[in-house]
């Protein structure tokens, strides 16, 4: 109405009748546009043309624009669903592979490193919801893989980047998910989803692009599955032993001791592969280790025959109490060789010490978890990815709890001097970071040096 009044005022000032305002402007005001019926112009307009032209131009234009806009929408319709065991249904846009997948839904608070997260074998059996709202903007490159494939079941994002901008990128996130047969769902309110998981705890979910499946069917699928009690170590582990000697790429090396060339003599380390990350192997190699990687079920007797300087127990997925064979192997090695465990290795060794593990409400997944190193009070910012923890109250005398998670007070590291063992619940090798806990590798090297001197 304000625009109509202004146009009328301008017409009056110019001594022009408002009806002489161009048809487009008048149509914008919602007025009908009469067609002349006399004169040369009127004689050129047929009765049919008069019928069409006498309709409001605004209505015809709006209808035409609406049709074109519908056809030219730059976004996809929501064609995928995330259905949780609590009955909630989350609609989103599918990318990556098509199909139906089931897994435990967890959230990760890291602001970078989605490629490293996706290729971490510890996420086997899980869906990762990224709290960082914009994912995919740097694509996928060949150097940042933590393993040879993508192990998680699906990824959940708020916004899938429409453009990729990184000099190392070789493919888009969508292309990589298709290649690895991993489902992706975008357009999800990940803030609301994260709040739900924090309140309720981790929930099993089903992601599907199959519209023939009802929500009720998917809820029942979710309720029928659990990660508790599942041994996933043997699923993601290597099948045969192999050697590893490649350290961190020089361009990315950050440790002063390694950069100075002072990492010392070479040590032979046997590493149990429960789902070992590439950067753990790189960090060990950078500190002067020659690594023999063995399968999760490899007998301890065969490891001891190799007479290594130390034995490493890696990270891995699933329930630590579901892998008694790994605990038995650890028991046979403890006290005979220096031992270091990370994440799942920490939990396996905790059980070998005599302790027990329990499931956390929603786990620790992200790159910003504060840790206190008890002997000195030093605070570390750490990268973490685990849903289980060692129960402090069940540990025997002689086990020193060296690290505490400051968010919830859970055990984040142990030393058992009598058994020549040290453990860390989080990831000191974290890529892209933080690197506060890289000193753990130096400490393991120190244990092997001391053992070599006394041997």
Which residues have a catalytic role annotated?
343, 427, 429
Backbone angles phi, psi at 330, to 5 degrees: -65, -40
Asked if 148 contacts 174 with a C-beta cutoff of 8 angstroms, the reply is no
3-state secondary structure of 172: coil
The token pair at 62 is 């709006």
Cα four-point dihedral sign 189, 434, 372, 317: positive
The token pair at 126 is 């899980």
The token pair at 380 is 């570390």
Please give the Cα distance from 23 to 47 (Å, whole number).
19
Asked if 318 contacts 125 with a C-beta cutoff of 8 angstroms, the reply is yes
Question: Burial level of 329, CB count in 10 A (0-12/13-18/19+)?
Answer: buried
Nearest to 312 by CA among 325, 321, 373, 285: 285
From residue 449, alpha-carbon distances to 121, 310, 312, 396, 454 in Å are 31, 10, 15, 27, 9
Strand partners, 403: 373, 413
Strand partners, 390: 357
Cα four-point dihedral sign 73, 79, 84, 87: positive
Q: Tokens 């112009």 identify what position? A: 41
Alpha carbon dihedral 364, 435, 241, 295, in 10-degree steps, equals -10
């Amino acid at each position: 109405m304000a625009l109509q009044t202004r146009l009328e005022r301008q017409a009056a000032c110019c001594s022009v009748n408002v009806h002489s305002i161009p048809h487009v402007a008048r149509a914008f005001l919602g007025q009908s546009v009469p067609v002349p019926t006399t004169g040369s112009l009127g004689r050129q307009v047929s009765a049919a043309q008069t019928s069409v032209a006498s309709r409001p131009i605004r209505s015809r234009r709006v209808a035409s624009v609406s049709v074109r806009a519908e056809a030219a929408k730059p976004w996809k319709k929501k064609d995928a669903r995330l259905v949780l065991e609590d009955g909630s249904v989350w609609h989103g846009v599918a990318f990556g592979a098509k199909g139906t997948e089931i897994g435990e839904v967890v959230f990760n608070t890291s602001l970078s490193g989605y490629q490293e997260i996706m290729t971490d074998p510890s996420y086997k059996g899980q869906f990762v919801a990224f709290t960082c709202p914009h994912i995919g903007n740097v694509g996928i490159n060949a150097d940042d893989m933590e393993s040879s494939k993508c192990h998680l079941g699906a990824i959940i994002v708020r916004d899938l980047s429409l453009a990729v901008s990184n000099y190392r990128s070789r493919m888009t996130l969508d292309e990589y998910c298709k290649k690895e047969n991993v489902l992706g769902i975008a357009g999800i309110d990940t803030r609301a989803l994260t709040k739900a998981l924090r309140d309720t705890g981790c929930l099993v979910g089903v992601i599907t692009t199959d519209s023939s499946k009802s929500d009720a069917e998917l809820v029942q699928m979710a309720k029928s599955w659990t990660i508790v009690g599942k041994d996933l170590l043997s699923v993601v582990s290597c099948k045969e032993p192999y050697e590893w000697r490649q350290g961190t790429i020089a361009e990315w090396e950050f440790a002063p001791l390694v950069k100075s060339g002072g990492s010392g003599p070479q040590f032979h380390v046997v590493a149990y592969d429960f789902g070992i990350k590439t950067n753990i192997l790189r960090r060990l190699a950078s500190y002067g280790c020659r690594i023999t990687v063995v399968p999760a079920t490899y007998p301890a007797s065969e490891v001891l025959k190799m007479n290594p300087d130390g034995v490493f127990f890696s990270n891995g997925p699933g329930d630590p109490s579901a892998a008694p064979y790994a605990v038995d192997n650890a028991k046979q090695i403890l006290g005979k060789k220096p031992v270091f465990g990370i994440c799942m290795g920490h939990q396996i060794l905790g059980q070998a010490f005599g302790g027990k593990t329990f499931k956390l409400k929603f786990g620790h997944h992200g790159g910003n978890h504060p840790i206190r190193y008890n002997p000195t009070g030093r605070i570390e910012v750490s990268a973490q990815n685990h849903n289980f923890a060692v129960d402090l109250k069940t540990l025997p005398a002689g086990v020193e709890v060296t690290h505490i998670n400051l968010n919830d007070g859970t055990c984040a590291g142990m030393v058992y001097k009598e058994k020549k063992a040290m453990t860390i619940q989080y990831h000191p090798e974290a890529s892209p970071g933080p690197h506060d806990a890289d000193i753990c590798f130096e400490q393991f090297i120190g244990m092997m040096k001391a053992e070599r001197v006394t041997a």
